[in-house]
Amino acid sequence: MAHSRRQYLRLCAASTGGLLAGCAGLLGDEDRESDAVDDWQYDPAERTDGLNASSGAGVQLSANAESADLGLSAGGASNVADFRRNVEEGYLPLPDSLPVEGLFYNYYFDTGGTGECSSLFCPSYATAITADPLGDSTDRYVTVGLNSTLDTSTFERKRLDVVIVLDISGSMGSQFDQYYYDRFGNRHTVEEGDSRTKMAVAKDALVALTEQLEPDDRVGVVLFNNEATVAKPLRDVETTDMDAIRGHIREDVQAGGGTNIAEGMAEAADMFGEYADADPTEAETRQIVVTDAMPNTGQTDDQALQDRLAGYAEDGIHTSFVGVGVDFNPELVDEITAVRGANYRSVHSAENFETYLGEEFEYMVTPLVYDLSVELDAADAEIAKVYGSTAAEDATDELLSVNTLFPSPKSDGKTRGGVVLVKLDGEASGDMTLRASWEDRSGSADETTRTIEFPEESPEYFANTGIRKAILLARYADLLKNWMVNERDPDRVTVTAEDEIEVPPEDLPLGEWEQQSQPLAVSSPYESRIERFRGYFEGEADSIGDDDLIQELDMMRKILQAA
C-alpha cells in the first residue's frame, strides 16, 4: 500500500543520516494524482564540509539442464571494457583490467552434455590436448561447464533491496576518456566544451539502473566523497516519485573532494539495518557502488576492504561495482570483489551499460550457487592453473573453487561465460574423477561425482569448441598480461623534455590507488610475440567459427600499432 503524505513525513523524520530539512522540503505538490513522494535528501548547499559536490523464491527448474535455456557464469568481472577502452584511447592498461572471467563473459561456450541432472547446478567436463603456440610444450586442459536447469520463461528474481552508492569525489569530475592524473601526477581539469565527465556517465548509468526496479523493490541512494551522505532513504519504489529522484541525480549531484569508499559502503550497510528482519528467501539485498575506484581517504587497504565486503556478505548484503572511466582501478576492485555474491563491470559507454542493465539486470543481482569446489583425482595429473574464477589463485594441486555463480543467458545451446578452465600439470591420461560440491541460494548443500576418461590423443585434440575457445582466450589473456607487466617496468618509462610538466605545488602525492597515465607501447620481444600469436589466434578463430573473436584480433592490431 502507498504511504500517505503524513505517513511519509513520519518515515522521513525517522530515517537516519539524511538532511531532514531537505526531506520535508522536497515533497512536491500535495495535489499529485499519485501518492508517490520525492524523498531526495541531498542538498549540496547544506554540506558542512565545504564541498559541492533453490532454489529459492522465484526460481523454477526444468526437467534437465540440456533442455534449459539459462546457464551459469562465475562472479567477479563481467567484462573487460576497461582494458579495451584504454587501448582505444592510447593508454597502457593495468594487467588486472583483463580478468579471464570477464573475458569469458564476452563469449558463448559449448559446455558439453550433463547427462541426467535435475538439480539447480549441473557441472559437465571436457578435455583438450594442444601445443603451446609460443613454446615447445604440449598442454592438457579440462573445463568445468557451468550448466543449470533454469528456464527464462519461469526465472524471476526475488524482490530487491538495493542501495546505490555513488562516488562524487573530485576525480569523478574529470573526463571519461582521460586519466584524472597524467603519468607525472598532474590533475586534469575539465574545460567547458570538453568531452563528457565520468560523473555525467555515472549519472546516466545510475538512472538506467533505476529503470529496472519493480514497484515492490526498495531503493536508497548514498553519495560519498570525503564522507558519506544519505541522499535517499531505503524505501519502496511504489511509494517514491522515481522521476523526481532521477531528476535530482542528474541536476543536484556535483563532484568534489576525496574518495572514501569504505564510508559509503558503511552508510549503505546501516541503511539495510532497518530491514534486517527481511526474509532472505523472499528478498535479495545488494549495494551497487558506482566509482572510478581510487580511494585516497578513510580505509584504503585492499585486504581490509575485502574483509569488509566479506563481512557484509555473511550478513546477506552482496556487492556489485560499476567502474567508470579509463582510469577506473580494476586492480583494487578485482581484489575486493573476490568474495561471496560479488561482481563488477566497467562502463565502456553509457549506452553499453544501459543495454547491459536492460538485458541482464536480473542476472546481475541474483547469485544462485555459492562456494563451488571441484576436487580432481587423477593418477598422473594435478591442477597447474585455473582460469575464469576469482578464487583461481587459491587452487591447490587437487582442488579448485568458485565463490559464486550467477544466471547467464544461452544462445544456440551455448552459455555466456559458462566455463571455468583448468590447466593440468603432468601426463594426464586414463580415468579422472571429479567431485563437485556447492551450496545453493537456500543454503542447501549438493554434490556430484563423475569419472571421465582423458583420451590418449595427440595435439590438436579438443572435445568441443567450448574448451577450444576457452584455451584460446586464456592464452591471449596470459600473453597480454605479461606484456602489460613488462611495459610497466619503471626502467622502460622514458620522459622527454617536452613531456615534463610542472606539478602545481598544491597537488598532493598520489594515493595508493590513484593511477597515472602511461602511453601505449610495445617493447621487444613482445612485438614479435604478439604478432606471432595473432596469426595463431586468427587460425583458431576460423576453426572455432565465432565471429566475435575478431574484436581480439583488432585489439592486438591496435597494440602492435604502438610498437
419-425 sheet: strands from edge to edge = 382-387, 419-425, 138-148, 121-131, 461-462
- Residue 210 placed within a domain: yes
Q: What is the pLDDT, as a whole number, of residue 495? A: 47
Q: What is the pLDDT, as a whole number, of residue 142? A: 97
- Residue 7 placed within a domain: no
- Residue 392 placed within a domain: yes
Q: Would you say residue 522 has pLDDT above 70?
A: yes
- Residue 33 placed within a domain: no
Phi, psi of 296 (to 5 degrees): -135, 5
Mean predicted confidence (pLDDT) in 124-137: 95
What distance in Å separates the CA atoms of residue 556 and residue 544, rounded to the nearest whole number?
19
Please check whether residues 270 and 182 belong to one and the same domain: yes
Please check whether residues 349 and 413 belong to one and the same domain: no
Please check whether residues 115 and 174 belong to one and the same domain: no
Point out which residues pair with 197 in neighbouring strands.
175
Q: Closest by alpha carbon to 143, among 456, 407, 448, 474?
A: 474
Q: Would you say residue 303 has pLDDT above 60?
A: yes
Last residue of a domain, one of 302, 331, 364: 364
Q: Would you say residue 154 has pLDDT above 60?
A: yes
User: 355 vs 85, which has greater pLDDT?
Assistant: 85
- Residue 142 placed within a domain: yes
Average pLDDT, the chain: 86
Q: What is the pLDDT, as a whole number, of residue 508? A: 60
pLDDT tens digits for range 26-45: 333 333 345 788 888 887 76
Please check whether residues 135 and 246 belong to one and the same domain: no
Transcribe 406-436 into DSSP letters.
EEEEEETTEEET-EEEEEEES---EEEEEEE
Last residue of a domain, one of 312, 332, 364: 364
Q: Closest by alpha carbon to 470, among 196, 201, 127?
A: 127
Please check whether residues 233 and 143 belong to one and the same domain: no
Q: What is the pLDDT, as a whole number, of residue 45? A: 67
Q: What is the pLDDT, as a whole number, of residue 23? A: 36
Classify residue 412 as exposed, middle or buried by CB count within 10 Å of its CB (0-12, 13-18, 19+): exposed
CA distances 304 to 229, 262, 298, 308, 335, Å, are: 22, 9, 11, 6, 11
pLDDT tens digits for range 168-181: 999 999 999 999 98
Please check whether residues 351 and 385 belong to one and the same domain: no
Q: What is the pLDDT, as a whole number, of residue 17? A: 31
Question: In the numeric block, which cell numbers belong to residue 153?
Answer: 520463461
Q: What is the pLDDT, as a whole number, of residue 427? A: 81
Q: Cis peptide before 46, with omega less than 30 degrees from 0? A: no
Please check whether residues 337 and 411 belong to one and the same domain: no
Q: Would you say residue 507 has pLDDT above 90?
A: no
Q: What is the pLDDT, as a whole number, of residue 12? A: 37
Kindly calculate the radius of gyration of the chain based on its CA atoms and give it in whole angstroms: 24
What torsion do the CA atoms of 517, 521, 522, 524 make, to the nearest 10 degrees?
-100
CATH number of the domain encompassing residue 297: 3.40.50.410
The whole domain housing 392 covers 65-74+102-153+369-441+452-458
- Residue 230 placed within a domain: yes
Task: Give the total number of structural domains in the chain.
Answer: 3
The answer to whether 370 and 439 are in contact (CB under 8 A) is yes
Q: What is the pLDDT, as a whole number, of residue 8? A: 30
Please check whether residues 294 and 175 belong to one and the same domain: yes
What distance in Å separates the CA atoms of residue 237 and residue 219, rounded to the nearest whole number?
6
- Residue 195 placed within a domain: yes
Please check whether residues 359 and 373 belong to one and the same domain: no
Please check whether residues 298 and 213 belong to one and the same domain: yes
Mean predicted confidence (pLDDT) in 298-321: 96
pLDDT tens digits for range 435-460: 999 998 888 999 999 999 998 889 99
pLDDT tens digits for range 368-413: 999 999 999 988 889 999 999 999 989 999 999 999 999 999 999 9
Angle 39-249-335 from CA coordinates, rounded to 5°: 110
User: Residue 76: left (phi > 0), alpha (psi -120 to 50), or beta?
Assistant: left
Q: What is the pLDDT, as a whole number, of residue 198? A: 93
Q: What is the pLDDT, as a whole number, of residue 371? A: 96
The answer to whether 422 and 141 are in contact (CB under 8 A) is yes
Q: Which range is most confident: 118-122, 437-441, 498-502?
A: 437-441
Q: Which of 38-52, 276-290, 342-356, 506-520 shows the lowest per-residue confidence on average (mean pLDDT)?
A: 38-52
Q: What is the pLDDT, as a whole number, of residue 148? A: 93
Last residue of a domain, one of 321, 341, 364: 364
Please check whether residues 373 and 437 belong to one and the same domain: yes
Q: Would you say residue 498 has pLDDT above 60?
A: no
Mean predicted confidence (pLDDT) in 145-164: 91
- Residue 12 placed within a domain: no
Q: Closest by alpha carbon to 213, among 164, 144, 172, 262?
A: 164
Q: Would you say residue 542 has pLDDT above 60?
A: yes
User: Residue 13: left (phi > 0), alpha (psi -120 to 50), or beta?
Assistant: alpha
Please check whether residues 181 and 284 belong to one and the same domain: yes
The answer to whether 260 and 225 are in contact (CB under 8 A) is yes
